[in-house]
Structure 1
């Protein structure tokens, strides 16, 4: 680790497992003071048990007022944040013909709604040099059968990054997104091991392996750091080339 986030104070949501956990740990190893946020208090305790010094805050981010509570907790424990990594969300495979209004509301709330409210709080407090990195998805960039409500919500997050970059760039605030492809997490491990994605994802991209949470966390750390000081409004795919190529061989 290079210490490229030294002196920063970061909020990382979804930090109880998977990509969120790894991002919180990488941010801490890169020198940031980190508030790890999730509704799963036991999962947050397991994140802390990985050996990095982290502050934690357990809250359900779907509750109205939760985003404001997160920022208040960060300010009280670590100081005002200058970096926000919005990773909390939920994936799912469901085509539009099988999606109810309740399904749509769920995916929009858990992905776009939470991120939108966290960004609204962030732009109110971040100053020059502040950075927001949100979580889109590879399937939002290229389309994949059977993921309509999820893909739509994640595509909106890419649009939100562009919009906020336009609105707040003159204040020195950068807003970007990361679009993970197939990543081994507790939510995907069983289907990966069963070979569900072998033909549709793994074998159809140049880097024919399953991604790891560290692959994605490193992208978050890059976009949050001064290494990306002239980058804003982009969605960075971390997908082994799946969104940009179709591989045969």
Structure 2
């Protein structure tokens, strides 16, 4: 029987057997025990008996113990294999993967700085105004983009008491369009409407930190007396170079 559900009321004690776990009594015929086997159990010489339910529970507990022991062994093996230098390497790989994914997500984004916000404009009105401004700016750089393809988003919390000039993020059709706009942004300097506008790619926190470090290096070298220096992106990496060095 898979489960014992003995409900027999038996007066003879010798025809009952008690589970050593749950202490419930069962009729020996109902649990498949012979009289001789029951007699040995009653003799109390170390022989015990457990019902099917308790036996199954014990097996489950033993299985769980085996799983725990296996996990402990795996953790121990992992800890012994992962040295501090290996752990640093794994963390570096993890950071690199995350950084790559972040750059892929931002590849089509263009960041525009310096577009003033109108006071007391609702979000829809400000967006419409930004779309017109951006379309004219793109045209000045030499890139034609339809108004319905421009979806600007102001970054940061609106603060009426601030300068009202939050950065604008624009998602464009491809990374190539973003690169062309950034590369040709120098054309904006000669236009009165856009001379104070600055545009860049949508950089990750790691890229921004790297740029700040390079900017600090530039300031330090200029303070030391070096001249004709600037920051240029060489293969996507900011580097301090001479102003006449070609940009890749």
TM-score by shorter chain over 0.5 = no
Length-normalised TM-score, structure 2: 0.21
Asked which structure has the greater RCO (Cα within 8 Å, sep 6+), the reply is 1
Decide which structure has the larger Cα Rg and report it: 2
Length-normalised TM-score, structure 1: 0.21
